[in-house]
Amino acid sequence: MLAFLLGPGECDDGLREGYFVVVPLLALAACFAGGALAQSNALPVAAAPNPNLAFATLVSHWATDNEWVGKAGSHNLPVILLPIAVTNTTSEAAPVMVHFGCGFFEVQTIYSDGAAVLRNCSVTLFVPIWGRAQLLAPQDVPLNASSPISVEIPGVMNGTLAFYLKNDEVLMAWVLDTPFVGTLDEPGLSVFPTSINAHFTATQLQARFCRAELQQLAKPSTPSIVPPTTNATSNDALLKAFFEDFLVSPLNGTFAVQTMGENQYHVEESFLGIFSIDGSIDPSSLTAAITPYVRIPVSGRVSLAELNGNLLDAGSGPVGGVFANISVVLAQGHVALSARPTLEPGQEGLHDLYIDANLNISMIGAFNTMGPIKVLSLPF
């Protein structure tokens, strides 16, 4: 990622596309703010001794400011809501670009107060490690439709989506069979209020992200990993192959992309819906350098710590392995990674990777593995 090689102290809104979902929003806001964001170039960049802390602070503020708590739907499924003016009028019925994320879904549409339609509504699914897969191409979606919309990624997943009005809120419902977490089923989650005319101001955005701060974000995932064994050309076929090659456990939605270099084994793994790790392990000594992350809808992944040490050590913490106390604005608790000899018979010399995490995560809540759980069989 070239962006990380740029010197500190630079702040601008010309960030890489796909680097962070806020990027197009920043660009958009700059258009409507008449370049007011350009002032952010002059903002001093606070010294950030701990990159994880600096970034978690930013994301935490941003997520807190944009969290929407509606009246209906599953508990523990926060909606991150980003309403942005699409005209320079501030009347109640002025259209607003609504971008929101909840669970594995992200939606972008245009809505006007009182309208019975979501204009140019597109729905994407966040597939762990892979990135985004489009479920619904941009289209007008009536809010009074009598039946839900069928969606499908051929050979991969299928189901229905629906949007409807209830009281003074727009609700989203889905039933979707996925190969990675089984059926996702939600009869109706409040995703935004019908009186959505609050404009996201340039000042609000300006206070959030600048390039130097985004550089603090640990290495972003590589989108659309192409499995080496396939000749697939279409995106759907690639996604299908991705599931075939890298899905470890559909029960926990565990994906792992593992590559063995000359002296280093590299792994990027996503599990339990929000967690991921990315790093490398020396197969001969089991010394590791691994970063754990949590994923916040729409925002991207947030690094918690840098774990360096030997996975076989008894460890400095109470649970063994490479241990870190986490105390960033976004999350408090601990994470430990360890390797243990595999329990499978006839697998002498092989190890399994375990994680032990107990975290309070902003927006998501308590996350406790209740002791070490196996997340991966290591090939050494």
Ligand X SMILES: *[C@@H]1O[C@H](CO)[C@@H](O)[C@H](O)[C@H]1NC(C)=O
- Residue ranges binding ligand X (CB under 6 A): 88, 108, 116, 120, 122, 138, 142, 144-146, 158-160, 175-177, 229-231, 249, 251-252, 254, 316-317, 323, 325, 332-333, 358-360, 366, 373
Of 212 and 335, which CB lies nearer to ligand X in the complex structure?
335
Q: Which is nearer to ligand X, 43 or 173 (CB)?
A: 173
Find the shortest distance in angstroms from Cβ 117 to ligand X.
8
Instruction: Specify the residue, 15 or 212, whose C-beta has the smaller distance to ligand X.
Output: 15
Cβ-proximal residue to ligand X, closest one: 333
What is the nearest approach in angstroms of ligand X to the Cβ of residue 202? 14
Q: Return the number of the residue (249 or 264) whose C-beta is nearest ligand X.
A: 249
**CA–CA separation, 329 and 349 (whole Å):** 40
Q: Of the two residues 310 and 360, which places its CB atom closer to ligand X in the complex?
A: 360
| Shortest spacing between CB 215 and ligand X, in angstroms | 26
Strand order in the sheet with 182-193: 149-153, 157-166, 169-178, 182-193
d(CA 19, CA 219): 10
Q: How far is the CB of 204 from ligand X (least distance, A)?
A: 19
> Shortest gap between Cβ of 146 and ligand X (angstroms)?
4
43 vs 232, beta carbon nearer ligand X: 232
Residue pair 160/152 in contact by the 8 Å Cβ criterion: no
Rounded to a whole number of angstroms, the minimum distance from the CB of residue 261 to ligand X is 24
Minimum CB distance to ligand X smaller for 122 or for 222: 122
CB-nearer residue toward ligand X: 158 or 222: 158
* Cα-Cα-Cα-Cα dihedral sign, residues 318, 323, 325, 331: negative
Find the shortest distance in angstroms from Cβ 212 to ligand X.
28
State the Cα–Cα distance between residues 197 and 368, nearest whole angstrom. Answer: 38
Distance of CA 337 to the CA centre of its chain: 21
CA angle 281, 285, 289 (to 5 degrees): 30
Cα(192)–Cα(78) distance, rounded to whole angstroms? 11
Residue closer to ligand X, measured from CB, 214 or 376: 376
From the CB of 6, what's the least distance to ligand X, in Å?
28
Instruction: For the CB of residue 145, give the shortest distance to ligand X in the complex, in Å.
Output: 6
